Amino acid sequence: MTPQVKAFFDQETFTVSYVLQEPEGLASAIIDSVLDFDHASGRTNTNSADRIVDYVRDNDLRVEWILESHVHADHLSAAPYLQQKLGGKIGIGDQIVSIQETFGKIFNEGTEFQRDGSQFDALFREDDSFHVGQLRGDVLHTPGHTPACLTYVIGDAAFVGDTLFMPDFGTARCDFPGGSSEMLYGSIQKILSLPDETRIFVGHDYKAPGRDEYAWETTVGEQKALNVHIGQGRSIQEFVEMRDARDATLSMPRLILPSLQINMRAGQMPPADEKGDVFLKVPINKI
Ligand SMILES: [Fe+2]
């Protein structure tokens, strides 16, 4: 089954969001949406999300799922906004509870912040399946970048989030709390064991040396042959050494503090104060 996949690229955060449509029907799923956020002013806007709303409405699609590959650290999720406009259930990996535990502590969220994943409509685990209309989706647990990362395999399309990037860019960082380059290696092997012709849709693209265009679609076969970090049967030792050395040089994503506080709540803002105003925290020397 070959679903139709429409990509939406956000140049501010280099994120690719997707709308997947079943081959012979109007059922659809949205994967990894973006709520625009200007950190300097603290203002959100829905320009990116509205492109998806317009596309769904223009094509008369019926949104069944709003899926997150993981708790993103570099952009805010627009899942609640899209759900309010379009419907659909918000899904993420069941290991979200460990992310909520870790960051609930770091942000000193107190007992009113539930750490049981109940902010989401569905919590998926390895080997779970779901449907988008007639089309079946399968869940792979692919930790490493974060403990809760999932890959959604829907028809011949695999949405890999931040595990693999385009072959000429490589793989995702593994240095966030709960991340592990050994685990990422194993997760990537799981993705690479899918049929070679499986289409892979990546969660970000940053271009790559010698490439001037953004790109986000590749295949399992191409990744196996060409991925600069893991292709050609690279060994786990070689990968882990390379990944850990490279991660030690990376700075934190610009939007990590707002992103985590909002995305661990399924894209909802923290509770408003008695005047109805919403604030985010900046924990000092914690991350
Ligand atoms: Fe990420």
Using one digit for the tens of pLDDT, what is the confidence trace for 233-273?
999 999 999 999 999 999 999 999 999 999 999 999 999 99
CA of 22 to the centre of ligand 1 (A): 26
Average pLDDT, the chain: 97
Looking up tokens 């105003």 gives 277
CA of 149 to the centre of ligand 1 (A): 9
CA of 72 to the centre of ligand 1 (A): 4
For residue 1, pLDDT over 90 is answered with: no
The SS3 of residue 9 is strand
Cα 83 to Cα 30: distance, rounded to the nearest angstrom: 10
CA of 281 to the centre of ligand 1 (A): 20
CA of 70 to the centre of ligand 1 (A): 7
Ordered alpha helix ranges (H), 91-228: 96-106, 181-192, 220-226
CA of 232 to the centre of ligand 1 (A): 25
CA of 174 to the centre of ligand 1 (A): 10
Cα 237 to Cα 228: distance, rounded to the nearest angstrom: 15
Residue type at 183 in one-letter notation:
M
CA of 275 to the centre of ligand 1 (A): 33
CA of 74 to the centre of ligand 1 (A): 7
Please tell me the predicted confidence (pLDDT) of residue 266. Answer: 98
Pick the closest to residue 247 from 143, 168, 145, 150 (CA basis).
145
Q: What's CA 265's distance to the chain center, in Å?
A: 14
Cα 153 to Cα 169: distance, rounded to the nearest angstrom: 22
Q: What is the average pLDDT across 58-74?
A: 98
CA of 200 to the centre of ligand 1 (A): 16
CB atoms under 10 Å from CB of 65, counted, come to 22
CA of 221 to the centre of ligand 1 (A): 23
Pick the closest to residue 15 from 214, 249, 257, 247 (CA basis).
214
* 100-170-132-86 Cα dihedral, nearest 10 degrees: 60
Give per-residue pLDDT as tens, 6-65: 999 999 999 999 999 999 999 999 999 999 999 999 999 999 999 999 999 999 999 999
CA of 172 to the centre of ligand 1 (A): 8
Residue type at 158 in one-letter notation:
A
CA of 117 to the centre of ligand 1 (A): 18
Please tell me the predicted confidence (pLDDT) of residue 70. Answer: 98
CA of 276 to the centre of ligand 1 (A): 30
For residue 287, pLDDT over 90 is answered with: no
Looking up tokens 């406009």 gives 85
Supply angle C-alpha 9, 10, 15, rounded to 5: 80
CA of 71 to the centre of ligand 1 (A): 7
The CA distances from residue 262 to 74, 187, 215, in Å, are 11, 26, 28
Structural contact between residues 145 and 179, judged by C-beta atoms closer than 8 angstroms: yes
Cα 217 to Cα 108: distance, rounded to the nearest angstrom: 39
Tokens of 49: 């999300």
CA of 169 to the centre of ligand 1 (A): 15
Strands 150-154 and 199-202: unpaired
Give per-residue pLDDT as tens, 161-189: 999 999 999 999 999 999 999 999 999 99
Helix, strand, coil content of the chain in percent (nearest 5): 25, 25, 50
Structural contact between residues 21 and 3, judged by C-beta atoms closer than 8 angstroms: yes
Please tell me the predicted confidence (pLDDT) of residue 229. Answer: 97
CA of 31 to the centre of ligand 1 (A): 13
The CA distances from residue 127 to 130, 141, 155, in Å, are 10, 8, 15
For residue 88, pLDDT over 90 is answered with: yes
